């Protein structure tokens, strides 16, 4: 086991590139976000909004039809399609650089059908981020994983379900072993989030109890989606998103009792401007 490294602010300038003058929306990646049933629309709206605010060039959301209006009222920049339309799902998933599946997807039979549809459509060259309900469904149904660049973003209870490691025993050695079996990047979220990759394991030093509110992880999932779609080094993109998400929260918590997920994403364009590479 190699010692865990602690992330520093340097991960930001190592990752967030200066936007080239000769560029267009296609330069900054396509993200497809899948989730948000009739009950959890807010989750996929927050994930989508976080991806857009992190600079991803094109964003399409596959969700329950009840969420179309609410999503567009907040975010006309995103495109929407119904997640039960298998043909559209296959086409939109195939066209993405990064697919984010799970925020607010739910665990009912329609949710499982959607998840299986994503797994069938994904190709090995693509990045697939698996969050929230999708992690729970994989664990509960023992679903085989597709071949792709996989990223899991479990909180401790979701990691217990997926890995079988009880929350109190989630030590680095055990976590690293399961990460290897999954052949994925694992972002194990807690008050001090740890990130396990094939290139090493990392501790995120940022974060505050002011973040302990629903939707905070949905927002991180969207940010990682946006970062991985536009920045070429996948591991660094994940690390930078985790660091930024909680660093912004720390800054807001200097003068706020609670930090809302939507406040974090709205800070992103300024924060990324201030922490981009100078070259
Ligand atoms: N506005 C919305 O639409 C929201 C929808 N959400 C969605 O709701 C679905 C269910 O996710 P939940 O996470 O709520 O439910 P889960 O049942 O998966 O997990 C929550 C349980 O895990 C426990 N837990 C233990 N350690 C934890 C840790 N470190 N972090 C978080 N929880 C920990 C909590 O106490 C809680 O009882 C997901 O699809 C999620 O995306 C939630 O994100 C909340 C907001
Ligand atoms: N006490 C805390 N200190 C630091 N970060 C926290 C704390 N509580 C929650 N977070 C962060 O908030 C996010 C919660 O994710 P998750 O439980 O998936 O939320 P949701 O599913 O409601 O969106 C994670 O990024 C986690 O690290
Ligand atoms: Mg979550």
Q: What is the pLDDT of residues 124-157, one digit of tens each?
A: 999 999 999 999 999 999 999 999 999 999 999 9
193 lines ligand 2 (CB under 6 A): yes
Give yes or no for residue 249 having a pLDDT over 90.
Answer: yes
| 145 C-alpha to ligand 3 centroid (Å) | 20
What is the predicted pLDDT for the residue at 2?
67
Q: Give percent helix, percent strand, percent coil of the chain, each to the nearest 5.
A: 50, 15, 35
Give yes or no for residue 168 having a pLDDT over 80.
Answer: yes
102 lines ligand 2 (CB under 6 A): no
87 is in an annotated binding site: no
The full set of domain ranges for the chain reads 5-16+27-272
Closest approach atom of ligand 1 to CA 161: 18
Pick the CATH number of 5-16+27-272 from 3.30.565.10, 1.10.260.40, 1.10.10.10, 3.40.1190.20: 3.40.1190.20
Ligand nearest to the CA of 156: 1
226 is in an annotated binding site: no
Which three-class secondary structure state does DSSP give residue 102? Answer: coil
**List of residues 6+ apart from 85 with CB closer than 8 A:** none
DSSP state of 21: S
63 is in an annotated binding site: no
Give yes or no for residue 279 having a pLDDT over 90.
Answer: no
Cα gap 118→111, rounded to integer Å? 11
Average pLDDT, the chain: 97
Give yes or no for residue 1 having a pLDDT over 80.
Answer: no
As for the ipTM of the complex, it is: 0.99
Report the relative pairing of strands 184-188 and 194-197 from DSSP bridges: antiparallel
What is the predicted pLDDT for the residue at 278?
86
Ligand nearest to the CA of 40: 1
pLDDT (average), residues 22-41: 97
Write out the two tokens for 3: 């010692």
């Amino acid at each position: 086991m190699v010692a865990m490294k602690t992330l520093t602010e340097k991960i930001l300038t190592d990752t967030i590139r200066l936007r080239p003058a000769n560029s267009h929306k296609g330069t900054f990646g396509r993200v497809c976000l899948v989730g948000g049933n009739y009950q959890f629309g807010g989750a996929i709206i927050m994930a989508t909004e976080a991806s857009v605010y992190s600079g991803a060039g094109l964003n399409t959301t596959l969700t329950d039809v009840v969420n179309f209006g609410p999503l567009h009222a907040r975010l006309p920049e995103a495109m929407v399609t119904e997640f039960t339309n298998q043909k559209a799902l296959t086409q939109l998933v195939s066209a993405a650089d990064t697919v984010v599946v799970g925020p607010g997807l739910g665990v009912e039979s329609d949710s499982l059908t959607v998840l299986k549809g994503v797994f069938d459509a994904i190709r090995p060259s693509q990045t697939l981020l698996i969050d929230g309900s999708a992690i729970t469904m994989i664990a509960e149904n023992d679903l085989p994983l597709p071949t792709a660049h996989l990223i899991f973003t479990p909180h401790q209870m979701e990691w217990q379900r997926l890995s079988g490691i009880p929350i109190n025993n989630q030590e680095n050695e055990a976590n690293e072993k399961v990460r290897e079996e999954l052949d994925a990047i694992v972002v194990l979220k807690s008050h001090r989030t740890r990130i396990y990759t094939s290139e090493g394991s990392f501790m995120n030093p940022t974060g505050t109890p002011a973040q302990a509110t629903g939707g905070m992880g949905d927002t991180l999932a969207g940010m990682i989606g946006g970062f991985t779609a536009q920045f070429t080094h996948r591991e660094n993109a994940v690390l930078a998103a985790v660091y930024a998400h909680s660093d912004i929260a720390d800054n807001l918590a200097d003068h706020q009792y609670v930090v809302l997920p939507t406040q974090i994403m709205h800070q992103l364009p300024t924060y990324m401007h201030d922490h981009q590479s100078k070259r």
